[in-house]
C-alpha cells in the first residue's frame, strides 16, 4: 500500500503533494515501483495534529481520487475516519476505507461499508491524534487490542458487513509507547485467530527514532526491519512511503521464509 498524503502538515511529506497533478504523478510512480494499492489521505494524523473539517479534507482528496480512479490499474483507499468523507471518496472511485479510529461509535460508517461493499481497514487508536501520545497506558496492550478487534468485528457483522471486507490494523504509533509498539510488533501472531488479514503501518514512524535516533527521512532501514520480522505472522498488507525498497525487502524475506522447514 503506497502512501499518498495530500496534506500540508503530515509528519514526513507534508506539503509535497498538495497539487493534484503532482499527487497523481507520484501515485503513478508508486504503482510503477510495485504498489498494489494507493492510500490517499487529506488529514494529518501525526501526534498532536489538529482535526481538519470535512469540507477541507474533501477539497484535498476528491480531485486526486477522481483522477487516480480513472487512470490507475490498482484500487484506491481513502484514509479517513469521517463517514461523509468516506462516502464521497467511494463515489469518486475509491474502493477501500482506511479508518484510523475504526469510528464505529458513529453507525454511519458501518452502514456505509455494508451498503457499498467497500473494503474496510479497522485500526486501533487510543484517544485522538491530538492527545494519543499523552502517556498512553494499557494493563495489557495485546489483550486490549484483541478485545477491540472482537468488538469491532461484532459491530461490523451486526451492520451487515461481510468478514471478507475487513482488514485489521493494531495501529503502531497511535496511542502507544515505544514498549507497546515493540510488544505488538513482536506478537503480531497473537491476532491471527481472527482470520482476517492484518495491515502493518510502520513507515517512518517515530518509534524507530526512539530505538535509533533518526529523522523521518532516515528511518527506512528500521521500518524494513520491523516489516520483515512480522512477515509470516499475520501481516498481509504493508503501508509504506517507500514502495520500491519495501517491495524488494518483502520479496526477499518471503523467498527465505518459503525455504524454512515446516514446524
What residues are labeled active site? 205, 239
- Asked whether 62 and 78 are in contact (CB, 8 A), the reply is no
Q: What does the block give as the cell for 197? A: 488479514
Q: What does the block give as the cell for 248? A: 524488494
> Which single residue is written with the C-alpha cell 503513478?
28
- Asked whether 167 and 199 are in contact (CB, 8 A), the reply is yes
3-state secondary structure of 78: strand
Nearest Cα residue to 194 out of 164, 238, 224, 228: 164
The partner residues of 78 in beta bridges, in order of sequence, read 40, 97
Nearest Cα residue to 79 out of 37, 117, 36, 41: 41
> Which single residue is written with the C-alpha cell 532501514?
221
Amino acid at each position: 500500500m503506497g502512501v499518498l498524503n495530500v496534506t500540508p502538515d503530515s509528519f514526513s511529506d507534508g506539503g509535497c503533494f498538495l497539487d493534484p497533478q503532482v499527487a497523481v504523478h507520484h501515485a503513478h510512480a508508486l504503482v510503477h515501483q510495485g504498489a498494489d494499492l494507493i492510500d490517499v489521505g487529506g488529514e494529518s494524523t501525526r501526534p498532536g495534529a489538529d482535526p481538519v473539517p470535512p469540507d477541507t479534507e474533501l477539497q484535498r482528496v476528491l480531485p486526486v481520487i477522481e483522477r487516480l480512479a480513472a487512470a490507475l490499474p490498482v484500487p484506491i483507499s481513502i484514509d479517513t475516519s469521517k463517514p461523509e468523507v468516506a462516502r464521497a471518496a467511494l463515489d469518486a472511485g475509491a474502493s477501500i476505507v482506511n479508518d484510523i479510529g475504526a469510528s464505529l461509535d458513529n453507525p454511519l460508517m458501518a452502514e456505509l461499508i455494508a451498503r457499498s461493499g467497500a473494503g474496510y481497514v479497522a485500526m486501533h487508536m487510543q484517544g485522538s491524534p491530538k492527545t494519543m501520545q499523552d502517556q498512553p497506558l494499557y494493563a495489557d496492550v495485546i489483550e486490549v487490542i484483541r478485545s477491540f478487534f472482537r468488538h469491532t468485528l461484532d459491530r461490523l457483522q451486526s451492520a451487515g458487513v461481510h468478514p471478507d471486507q475487513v482488514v485489521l490494523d493494531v495501529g503502531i504509533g497511535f496511542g502507544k509507547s515505544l514498549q507497546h509498539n515493540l510488544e505488538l510488533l513482536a506478537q503480531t501472531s497473537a491476532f491471527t485467530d481472527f482470520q482476517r488479514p492484518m495491515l502493518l503501518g510502520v513507515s517512518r514512524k517515530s518509534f524507530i527514532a526512539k530505538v535509533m535516533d533518526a529523522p523521518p527521512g532516515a528511518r527506512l532501514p528500521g521500518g524494513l526491519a520491523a516489516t520483515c520480522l512480522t512477515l509470516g505472522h499475520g501481516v498481509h498488507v504493508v503501508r509504506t512511503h517507500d514502495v520500491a525498497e519495501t517491495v524488494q525487502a518483502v520479496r526477499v524475506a518471503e523467498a527465505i521464509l518459503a525455504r524454512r522447514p515446516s514446524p
